[in-house]
Amino acid sequence: MEVHAIGWIALAAVVVVLITIDIVGHVRTPHAPTIREAARWTTFYVSLAIVFGLILWAIYGAQYAGEYFAGYITEYSLSVDNLFVFIIIIGAFRVPREFQQKVLLSGIIIALVLRLIFILVGAAVIANFSWVFYLFGAFLLYTAWSQARQGTDAPSEEDETYHENPVVRLIRRVMPVTEGFVGDKVVHRAHGKTFITPLLICIFALGTADLMFAVDSIPAVFGLTKEPYIVFAANAFALLGLRQLYFLIDGLLDKLVYLHYGLAAILGFIGVKLVIHALHENELPFINGGQNWDAIPEPTIIISLAWILGVLALVVVTSLAKNKKDARLASAERAIAGAPAGTQPHTIPPVDTTHRPATDDTGAGSHATGPGETDPAGDDRTIAHTAD
């Protein structure tokens, strides 16, 4: 795939235009987006990503378009998992909801720049050292195992606690920080000194945290395509749609209870694919005598795309089924626990029909009533049952 400079310029222009639209249309006037607004813009970004893929199809063919779609879907699904960390960070800084769009967009811009550098460096390394695919594959297999463990282990309080990374701690030491937010300002000047606000620290926290996510997501996309242009396009469209997706599914991430297993299956598949690709281009002397080993065919992009879509569909269906089952059980438990006292059915004890002595006011024995008999006092007795 030979991408001319005009292709890179066009992609960069699209990214800049989208960022400008976000700044002018959403971030410049702080507000908390509604679910409808978030859904509308999420649909817009996904549609735009699809249109870009169709343009690739028209210009470069189905193979590269398929690689792009597989990379985009993989990146987008990994981004959904990353949103959980974003929620923790934003919650730790207690960013007001109307300022969260600015924080997210600024963090995404930082992430885009860092990812572009990462992608270009990674492409250069791959072009010169094919054995790097072994490292990428091994790392993705390890990440898949970690994801599977996260799905098995119950979330702990430690997992939901944000710990500042070294970059954020360095910023705090170097720059004075205001006690609280100053509107949506990132820098504030007072008493002849320049302060940064917690908003700016949160932005850097998001941007640097995303770089850690890129360590596994970018090799995953490189496992589907070797073209840096496609890798960056998939990352750019996935990240740019992340801001509105945050507001759309905030609070719903816990519903995807099997997401970690799905991501483990996707990353594990791509990890194996990378190892197979490395064997096909093997140059390491201690593996097969330095010769290529192609006994196992590498999965095609169609198989890869089908696997990714199938796993994600399975995650959604099984998660929804489990949520529905849990809701039914919870409803039944609430019904039992909330039942008022005395509503349980009681059986009226049988009347004692035996003749036993009873004492009247005079101390003389009286006759106990038996079946069909009338009380000596002449009145009918009613047996009352009172529930405890």
CA–CA distance, 291 with 275 (Å, rounded to integer): 15
Do 179 and 159 meet the contact criterion of CB atoms below 8 Å apart? no
pLDDT at 382: 40
**Average pLDDT for the chain:** 80
pLDDT at 369: 45
| Below-50 pLDDT ranges, the chain | 345-348, 353-388
Dump the DSSP string for 107-136.
HHHHHHHHHHHHHHHHHHHHHH-TTHHHHH
269-319 residue pLDDT tens: 999 999 998 898 888 888 878 888 888 898 888 999 999 999 999 998 999
Give residue 116's identity as a one-letter amino acid code: L
pLDDT at 295: 85
